[in-house]
Amino acid sequence: MSQYITEETMAVDGKSITSTVKEVDGKQSFASLVSVFGQHSRLVYQIGVFENDKKSEIHVVQELLRVLQVNKAVFTLDALHCQTQTVEAIVNSGNGYIATVKKNQPGLYRAIEDKSHEKPEDSYFWKQTGHGHDMRCRIRVFKANEKLKKNGMD
């Protein structure tokens, strides 16, 4: 794939494909699709397909990030992808990221909670409605302190 130079925001997300569920040795197996979607261009830049009993979404996303050649992009990822190797692949490629942090990363989660009591450098708030519910969204930007840097956030 030729290299893209972009200032695109790219959503990375995986979804299981309906009607692909089968049972393998008492475990459920299904096919999934991972896409890298340009939120402004409305282009799908990359796609990966996998079966959950053979590969994980985390590894597929890391492979897609290694193959996808973009500059000046910001990747948005859900909490599943708040992984050191994933973040390093993005940063090393010269791109940025916004990743949801949940308690699957306890040290990082606590460090962010501690930081959240301070005044942010910037913030943004919005409301959205969809899928039968209202949601309040908030992004706050803080300068990473030493505790955050030790937990993988620069």
Q: Can you give the CATH number for the domain in which 45 is found? A: 3.30.420.10
- Examine residue 80 and state whether it is found in any structural domain, yes or no: yes
Residues 136 and 119 in one domain: yes
Under 8 Å CB-to-CB from 83, ≥6 apart: which residues? Answer: 58, 62
SS (H, E, C) 39-94: CCCCCEEEEEEEECCCCCHHHHHHHHHHHCCEECCEEEECHHHCCHHHHHHHHHCC
- Judge if 63 and 2 occupy the same domain: yes
Which pTM does this prediction carry? 0.72
**Are 41 and 114 contained in the same domain?**
no
Sign of CA dihedral 13, 77, 107, 123: negative
Domain count along the chain: 2
The range of the structural domain enclosing residue 149 comes to 102-154
- Is residue 22 domain-resident? no
Q: How far is CA 110 from CA 44, 60, 79, 115, in A?
A: 35, 28, 15, 9
Give the gyration radius of the chain's Cα atoms.
17
Residue 53 domain-assigned?
A: yes
User: For every one of its 154 residues, what pLDDT tens digit does the chain have, with 9 covering 90 and above?
Assistant: 345 556 889 999 988 876 666 665 666 777 888 999 998 889 999 999 888 777 888 999 999 998 888 888 999 999 888 888 898 889 888 899 988 888 878 888 888 888 878 888 888 888 988 778 888 888 888 777 676 666 555 4
Q: Are residues 65 and 41 in the same domain?
A: yes
In a domain, 34, yes or no: yes
